[in-house]
């Protein structure tokens, strides 16, 4: 009985375009809801989680010596064959890389080099803006890799940022922890 | 002297009208994209100018400087003629459309219409019918399957929907006892026609959506299945002509709905200047068009035909008969 009533109600609703009105009300509501757009690169930027695999960097030990022992394991395991290591031996008989180049244009950021390294010398960090006019610029040498920032302690949020095209095509930010975009866009 | 002033005034009005109609698509595209963006929780254009306000200008420059490409196998004469045929009628129609009674500037009364034809309504329907040639020629001349399919659909759609549209306004003509748009508005000074003619309004509005080829009846340029329909092969300034024509028709249908059913420049409750009332009402209907576009899906082709012939046509005929009977029995309101 009540089902028949429901059905009659539905038909009456259709007669008065209740379904169309519902749709219009929904879109109208959305029109005044907060846009989910992340205004990258003008105002905001997504700061990845600390576990993110972005730029490579080489680490130093406590004495400030480069940790890498030039075993070439990372070069062996790399699926893209984009690491080139040339070893040398210093006065103390320690092996170090004379040349350590990563072609980030070919890298797929799998992180296998980080996993394979026996000396915990290489790791992947938070930066992901690699745009460049020439793929030669994306080959990064030993000293640049040593100078790069290490693992981030924070991340996973949207931070205020500005596009800086003068120095480098990179969106600069000073904040370390932004707001949670995923929570922010949820409609209840 | 009298004649010269009158002639000068008409030339000025026509030039003003053309300028407005050519420039209005700029803000309208911006509004449409902004509304679309916010309805989809995006922001719409943001980069050019404050909140993308200059985006239409950038688009215009882009269209003007783009290569004007004509397909090798196209019928060159018809291909060039079609955009003009599509653009001219919506502009011509506005000659017969009044925007208000008159305003006085420097002591002279200036009427807010170019001409007050006694058959304005017929003129509007006759001229707007020509617009379909632009679409058909454009689709045919391009020598492309998508374009031909799009223009065939448009042809059938325009013809099917012009009939209920024409029938829907007969009730209004009966009430006003005139075909002059000015008289029709004057007749609505107390009560708007939409009160007496809700069915007429409904039929007219739905048919107007179809005439303007807007969602849910935009089968002519259904992006999903026809590329872009009849203007698939057009680029550059000719494409812009079609776009301007489309917005002019959206504007025209909104203006006609306001004039025929929503009392034109007659206000209610709030005493605003008549012209402002008119603009506000038209803006509401233009917004409604955009709102519909980003809410509803597109009808299937057979559904489109069924709605036109099996729903709107009988409804509009019944509306005429009932209006006539009531007018005869109760007398004019
Ligand atoms: S992240 Fe993967 S692809 Fe990139 S250098 Fe390391 S091993 Fe090679
Ligand atoms: S980074 Fe690690 S794996 Fe690669 S050569 Fe140096 S020590 Fe070996």
Its domain, for residue A178, covers 35-50+152-188
Q: What average pLDDT does this structure show over A40-61?
A: 87
Q: Are residues A26 and A46 in the same domain?
A: no
3-state secondary structure of A85: strand
What is the reported pLDDT for A102? 94
Contact B294 A27 (CB under 8 A): yes
Distance, in Å, from the CA atom of B86 to the CA atom of B181, rounded to the nearest integer, reads 24
- Of the candidates A110, A133, A114, A132, which has an alpha carbon nearest to the alpha carbon of residue A123? A114
What is the reported pLDDT for A7? 86
Alpha helices in A65-185 (DSSP H): 73-77, 112-116, 142-147, 181-185
Confidence of residue A168 (pLDDT cuts 50, 70, 90): low
Distance, in Å, from the CA atom of B38 to the CA atom of B49, rounded to the nearest integer, reads 18
Distance, in Å, from the CA atom of B295 to the CA atom of A134, rounded to the nearest integer, reads 45
* Domains held by chain A: number: 3
Distance, in Å, from the CA atom of A143 to the CA atom of A135, rounded to the nearest integer, reads 19
Atom of ligand 1 nearest to the CA of A112: 7
Partner-chain residue, chosen from A23, A30, A42, that has the shortest CB–CB distance to B296: A23
Residue of B nearest to A26 (CA): B295
Q: Are residues A142 and A68 in the same domain?
A: yes
- Of the candidates A156, A109, A125, A139, which has an alpha carbon nearest to the alpha carbon of residue A59? A125
Q: Are residues A132 and A81 in the same domain?
A: yes
Q: Is B173 left (phi over 0), alpha (psi -120 to 50) or beta?
A: alpha
SS (HEC) of B94-141: HHHCCCCCEEEECCEEEECCCCCCCCHHHHHHHHHHHHHHHHHHHHHH
Contact B295 A42 (CB under 8 A): no
Q: Is B310 exposed, middle or buried (0-12, 13-18, 19+ CB in 10 A)?
A: exposed
What is the reported pLDDT for B182? 87
Atom of ligand 1 nearest to the CA of A111: 1
What is the reported pLDDT for B4? 87
Q: What is the dihedral of CA B11, B15, B16, B18, to 10 degrees?
A: 140
What is the reported pLDDT for B66? 87
A185 neighbourhood in chain B, CB within 8 Å? 41
ipTM over 0.90: no
Q: Are residues A82 and A132 in the same domain?
A: yes
Q: Report yes or no: A77 and A112 within 8 Å, Cβ to Cβ.
A: yes
What's the pTM value of the predicted model, to 2 decimals?
Answer: 0.82
Q: Are residues A101 and A26 in the same domain?
A: no
Q: Are residues A114 and A181 in the same domain?
A: no
Q: Are residues A79 and A135 in the same domain?
A: yes
Beta strand A95-103 with A157-160 is unpaired
Give how far B36 is from chain A: nearest CA, Å.
8
Q: What average pLDDT does this structure show over A98-123?
A: 93
A39 neighbourhood in chain B, CB within 8 Å? 43, 46
Say which residues have a Cβ less than 8 Å from residue B42's Cβ, sequence separation at least 6: A35, A36, A37, B36
What is the reported pLDDT for B132? 83
Nearest protein Cα to ligand 2, atom 2: A117
Nearest protein Cα to ligand 1, atom 8: A78
Contact B291 A24 (CB under 8 A): yes
Q: Are residues A6 and A84 in the same domain?
A: no
B160-185 burial, b at 16+ Cβ within 10 Å, e below that, comes to bbbbbbbbbbbbbbbbbebbbbbbbb
How remote is the CA of residue A126 from the centroid of ligand 1, in Å? 15
The tokens describing B102, both together, are 């008159």
Distance, in Å, from the CA atom of B68 to the CA atom of B56, rounded to the nearest integer, reads 19
Alpha helices in chain B (DSSP H): 2-23, 25-39, 55-65, 76-93, 120-141, 145-168, 170-176, 181-187, 193-196, 198-211, 223-226, 236-261, 274-293, 301-306, 313-330
What is the reported pLDDT for A169? 59
Q: Are residues A144 and A184 in the same domain?
A: no
Q: Are residues A142 and A156 in the same domain?
A: no
Q: Are residues A106 and A162 in the same domain?
A: no
Contact A31 B292 (CB under 8 A): no
What is the reported pLDDT for B103? 77
A78 ligand 1 Cβ < 6 A: yes
CATH number for A133: 3.30.70.3270
* Per-run averaged pLDDT (10 residues), chain B, 333 residues: 83 89 89 90 85 89 87 86 88 87 75 82 88 84 84 84 90 88 86 87 90 79 71 84 88 91 82 86 92 86 87 92 89 69
Q: Are residues A156 and A182 in the same domain?
A: yes
What is the reported pLDDT for B258? 92
């Amino acid at each position: 009985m009540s089902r028949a009533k429901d059905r009659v109600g539905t038909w009456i609703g259709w007669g008065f375009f209740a379904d169309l009105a519902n749709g219009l009300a929904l879109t109208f509501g959305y029109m005044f809801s907060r846009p989910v757009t992340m205004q990258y690169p003008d105002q905001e930027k997504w700061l990845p989680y600390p576990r993110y695999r972005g730029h490579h960097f080489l680490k130093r030990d406590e004495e400030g010596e480069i940790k890498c022992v030039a075993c070439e394991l990372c070069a062996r395991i790399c699926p893209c064959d984009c690491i080139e290591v040339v070893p040398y031996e210093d006065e103390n008989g320690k092996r170090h890389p004379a040349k350590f180049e990563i072609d980030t244009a070919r890298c797929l950021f799998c992180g296998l080099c980080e996993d394979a390294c026996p000396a915990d010398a290489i790791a992947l960090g938070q930066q992901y803006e690699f745009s460049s006019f020439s793929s030669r610029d994306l080959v990064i040498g030993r000293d640049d890799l040593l100078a790069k920032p290490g693992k981030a302690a924070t991340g996973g949020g949207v931070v205020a940022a500005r596009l800086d095209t003068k120095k480098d095509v990179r969106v600069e930010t000073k904040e370390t922890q932004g707001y949670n975009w995923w929570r922010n866009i949820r409609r209840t | 002297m009298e004649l010269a002033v009158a002639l000068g005034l008409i030339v000025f009005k026509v030039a003003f009208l053309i300028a407005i109609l050519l420039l209005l698509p700029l803000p309208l595209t911006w509004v449409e994209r902004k509304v679309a963006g916010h309805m989809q929780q995006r922001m719409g254009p943001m980069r050019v100018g404050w909140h993308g306000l200059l985006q239409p200008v950038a688009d215009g420059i882009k269209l003007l400087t783009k290569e004007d490409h004509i397909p090798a196998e196209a019928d060159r004469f018809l291909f060039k003629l079609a955009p003009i045929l599509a653009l001219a009628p919506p502009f011509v129609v506005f000659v017969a459309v009044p925007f208000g009674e008159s305003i006085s500037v420097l002591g002279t009364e200036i009427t807010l219409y170019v001409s007050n034809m006694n058959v304005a309504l017929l003129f509007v329907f006759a001229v707007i019918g020509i617009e379909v040639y632009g679409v058909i020629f454009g689709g045919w001349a391009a020598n492309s399957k998508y374009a031909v399919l799009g223009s065939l659909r448009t042809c059938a759609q325009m013809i099917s929907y012009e009939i209920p549209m024409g029938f829907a306004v007969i009730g209004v003509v009966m009430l006003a006892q005139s075909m002059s748009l000015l008289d029709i508005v004057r007749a609505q000074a107390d009560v708007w026609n939409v009160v007496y003619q809700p069915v007429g309004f409904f039929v007219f509005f739905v048919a107007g959506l179809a005439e303007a080829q807007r969602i849910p009846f935009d089968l002519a340029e259904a992006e999903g299945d026809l590329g872009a329909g009849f203007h698939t092969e057009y680029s550059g300034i000719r494409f812009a002509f079609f776009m301007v024509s489309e917005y002019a028709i959206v504007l025209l249908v909104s203006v006609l709905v306001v004039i025929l059913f929503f009392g034109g420049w007659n206000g209610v409750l709030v005493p605003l200047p008549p012209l402002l009332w008119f603009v506000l009402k038209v803006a509401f209907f233009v917004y409604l068009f955009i709102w519909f576009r980003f809410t509803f899906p597109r009808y299937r082709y057979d559904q489109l035909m069924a709605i036109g012939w099996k729903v709107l046509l009988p409804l509009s005929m019944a509306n005429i008969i009932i209006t006539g009977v009531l007018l005869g029995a109760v007398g004019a309101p």
